[in-house]
Structure 1
Amino acid sequence: MKDSKLRSERLEFYAEDMERLHTELDSFLELSKARCALLIDRDGHLVTRRGDAVQSSADSISALVAGSFAATKEMARLLGETEFSVMFHQGKRDSIQLQLVGERTLLAVLFDDRTNLGLVRFYAQEAALRLQDVFESIVGRRGGGELASNFSDVGQAALDELF
């Protein structure tokens, strides 16, 4: 991928963005009674985590979640779907639901027998919509990301005026 494309697609998070994401995730965890929620970009990078600490590396889990979602996207394509937006894995003790949030982010929810899949799915769907709104506002704020053609001259004039 070209550097310019990477720069144009990258999201920059400010403190207020993280606060909004954390508020949404904390509310989701309280309502669903899930243990942990991770926001992961589709490249496998952890954006943020809320709730109980993950037993193993959150970075490793993030990479595996993104890989699992990518493999499932290919399976969906082979079955005639564009992609599957929600996945669920059930274990003896713990379960995980993976859900697409917008075009570029995944919500991974870890939960156990303190709750049930129905509650997690219901509240995750609502949370995904609210999180998508947060991401859209971040993308909307981004603007062109390009410096003005006269940036150097304006900067030099401002420095000259200052000193």
Structure 2
Amino acid sequence: MSDDTLIIYEEEINQIETLMSKMLKGAEAKCALLVDKDGHLITRQGFTHSLDTTALAALLAGSFASTKEIARLVGEPEFSVLFHQGKKDHIHMSLVGERSILVVIFDDRTTIGMVRLYAKETAAELASIFEQVMAKSNPNATQGISTEFADLAQDKLDDIFHD
């Protein structure tokens, strides 16, 4: 599990879902999932009623993780895009920033080229949203007591407990 938990609020989820919905329409895909690298489903759009999205999210993240090890073995830091082709349904996965995976499930009504085009654009926009979320959740990493206040407090404590 990641050390730095990312908290995504309703406003950002709405932005994410709007982007994913727009991508599905443009690419003419069936559905999309946004999954974190630990295998947790962040959100989904499109026709997902017949899918066990929780299990699918975990398995897809595992697939991405195993492919990362394959990439390392062949001298690549990571493969940022994966594609699984089936007889009727296909899966396109792309890395979003460092923490998430955009998964698009589509059939033969569209092409891999259309899916790649829209997924790439959407992944970039999602990465931008995640950067905003990170900045919002950690606006000032050094939020401690100011030195001036700490010195003043120390002086007062010394006055109170002076030998």
Superposition TM-score, scaled by structure 1 size = 0.83
User: What is residue 50 of structure 1 aligned with on the other side?
Assistant: 45
Give the corresponding residue for 1:156: none
Q: Aligned match of 1:106 in 101, 104, 108?
A: 101
Deviation, 1:40, is 0.2
Distance of 2:120 and 2:42 partners within structure 1: 19
Give the deviation of 1:111 after TM superposition: 0.1
| Greater Cα radius of gyration, structure 1 or 2 | 2
The correspondence for 1:66, drawn from 61, 68, 79, is 61
Which residue of 2 is the match for residue 94 of structure 1?
Answer: 89
Residue of 15, 29, 38 corresponding to 2:10: 15
Q: CA deviation at 1:13?
A: 1.4
Unmatched runs of 5 consecutive residues or more in structure 1: 150-163
Deviation readout 1:100-159 (Å, 9 max, x if unpaired): 00000000100001111010001110010001001110001012578866xxxxxxxxxx
Q: What's the RMSD between the two structures over aligned residues?
A: 1.8
Structure 2 unaligned runs (5+)? 146-163
SS of 1:27's equivalent? helix
Deviating beyond 4 angstroms after TM superposition, the runs of 4 or more aligned structure 1 residues are 144-149
What does residue 127 of structure 2 align with?
132
The alpha carbon displacement at 1:53 in A equals: 1.3
Identity %: 47
- Specify the code of the residue in structure 2 equivalent to 1:115: T
Q: In the alignment, is the contact (CA less than 8 A) between 1:41 and 1:104 conserved in 2?
A: yes
Give SS of 2:60's match: helix
Partners of 1:125 and 1:115 in 2: CA distance: 16
AA in 2 matched with 1:141: K
SS at 1:107 equivalent = strand
Tell me, in whole angstroms, the C-alpha distance in 2 between the residues paired with 1:90 and 1:33: 17
Shift of residue 98 of structure 1? 0.7
| Amino acid paired to 1:85 | S
CA contact (8 A) 1:89 1:96 kept: yes
